[in-house]
Structure 1
Amino acid sequence: MANPMPEAVARLCRRAAPEPDDVLDEMETTARESGFPTIGPDAGAFYRLSARLTAASSVFEFGSGFGYSAYWVAPALPSDGQIVLTEHDPDELDMAREFFARGGYDDRAVFEEGDAIETVERYDGPFDLVLVDNEDDRYVEAFEAVRGKVAPGGIVLADNVLAAGEQFGPDAVLDALDGDEAPATAHHIADYYERVRADPDFETALVPVGEGLLASVRL
């Protein structure tokens, strides 16, 4: 299940998204040819819109790969803004550096190799936008690590909350939330649903674009 949305709706989301530049086109080609999962242009457009709605100048991303998601956000940041990309794989991080440099956004990017949750501990924040796309069994841990560093009015966006490739789909998440049998990955996502919805300092809504986003706003 690559995308839980009806194909016509997904196509309309892509048609509504901003036109990608040449670098983003190349990133999409790279992802397609290598089979690397990305959020896609529909969710990418919502990431960028979220940055604009929060007037974001400080962004942190848990799990950046070769920088696709972060690159969608970069044009919405001011020239003195900052987006922190985190990635275990040094080769992917090098790719992200190259893409950002070619796009002219390397002046607002910080590239951190290593564990994202350990990395965020070194930053004080506040962050206007946080992107959660690390290991699904560590989504709750990522939220716990960053929740106190989110600015009032800031947004935490978690990806893959309706589906993740062939691993699970919306029905599996519902089963997990109801305590029924479901894939482990769906139970990890259900744990995240329950954690953010129970937090009195955040208000959360599901955004059904791409493979699903949970948007949690700091009150």
Structure 2
Amino acid sequence: MNVLPDHTARFLAATAPDHTPVQAEMADLAEEWDFPIIGAEAGAVLRLLARLTDAERVFEFGSGFGYSATWFLRGGAESVVCTEFDEEEAERGVTFATEYGYDDAVTFEIGDAMGTIERYDGPFDIALIDHQKSRYVDAFEAVRPKLRSGGVVIADNIASGPIDFDALVRHVTDGDPLPSVDDDAQTHGIGSYVDHVTDDPAVETAILPVGSGIAVSTVRG
């Protein structure tokens, strides 16, 4: 589902940065595997945020084979912790990093990202949340104490993907209740996350309609 008018979506796609060779290969693999990646339009925002925050350390909840990590690296990030439950995807990410020479900048952790973050000390400059939608709020709360002041949390699939966007719009505009966890855990999780970060006085949040929609939250000093 594309939530943007077609001409706007085409404009954003046409003005997005070109893929690097590894990103182009990753995009081809994503198409072959029918695997969702954040895409160049949203990737450009990841790159920009890494550059603007002068990011050194990034933590990702859900990395697949490391496509989003390459955008943080393009923005100058020095290291990215990638987490992935699927061993085949993580191993493919290690192969990409080794073949293209950035294996010293990424660490792939196989297993539950929520367990992995407990083993890492901060501070991190940026966190990306892109795993199970029902666990977005838990991921935010787990990583926030490990973010530096002015650090950024980015959440993907806010406007499309495995969610009922119409139900989400009715929730935020008209106050309709979210679907229950039993009925639609994905939409419930995304809606709960949007409520959580927009109501939290300790962060400032903007939702950007690029890619599948991303929520960008900055930890206030």
- TM (normalized to structure 2)? 0.91
Structure 2 residues not aligned, in runs of 5+: none
Of 28-37 and 11-20, more deviation after overlay is shown by 11-20
Per-residue deviation at 1:214?
Answer: 0.5
Structure 1 residue aligned with 2:187: 186
Per-residue deviation at 1:149?
Answer: 1.0
Per-residue deviation at 1:7?
Answer: 2.4
Structure 2 residue aligned with 1:139: 136
Query: Matched residues in 2 for 1:181 and 1:19: separation?
Result: 38
Structure 2 residue aligned with 1:156: 153
In structure 2, give the amino acid aligned to 1:90.
E
Query: Matched residues in 1 for 2:76 and 2:9: separation?
Result: 26
SS in 1 for 2:104: helix
SS in 2 for 1:106: coil
Per-residue deviation at 1:6?
Answer: 2.0
Identity of aligned residues (%): 46
Per-residue deviation at 1:181?
Answer: 5.8
In structure 2, give the amino acid aligned to 1:211.
S
- TM (normalized to structure 1)? 0.92
Determine whether 1:114 maps to 2:114.
Answer: no
Per-residue deviation at 1:5?
Answer: 1.7
Per-residue deviation at 1:109?
Answer: 0.6
Per-residue deviation at 1:124?
Answer: 1.3
Structure 1 residue aligned with 2:26: 27
Off by >6 Å, runs of 4+ in structure 1: none
Query: Matched residues in 1 for 2:178 and 2:201: separation?
Result: 29
> Contact conserved, 1:10 with 1:42, CA < 8 A, in 2?
no
> Contact conserved, 2:82 with 2:107, CA < 8 A, in 1?
yes
Structure 2 residue aligned with 1:15: 14
Give the counterpart of 2:88 among 75, 87, 91.
91
> Contact conserved, 2:18 with 2:40, CA < 8 A, in 1?
no
Aligned length: 214
Structure 2 residue aligned with 1:214: 215
Per-residue deviation at 1:77?
Answer: 2.6
Per-residue deviation at 1:38?
Answer: 1.1
Report the CA distance shift for 1:215/1:181 in structure 2 as closer, same or farther (over 3 A): closer
For residues 158-173 of structure 1, the aligned pairs below 5 Å read 158-165=155-162, 167-169=163-165, 171-173=166-168
SS in 1 for 2:31: helix
**Which structure carries more relative contact order (alpha carbon 8 Å, separation 6+)?**
1
Structure 2 residue aligned with 1:41: 40
> Contact conserved, 2:128 with 2:153, CA < 8 A, in 1?
yes
Output one character per residue of 1:112-132: Cα deviation in whole Å (capped at 9) or x when no partner. 111101101111111111100
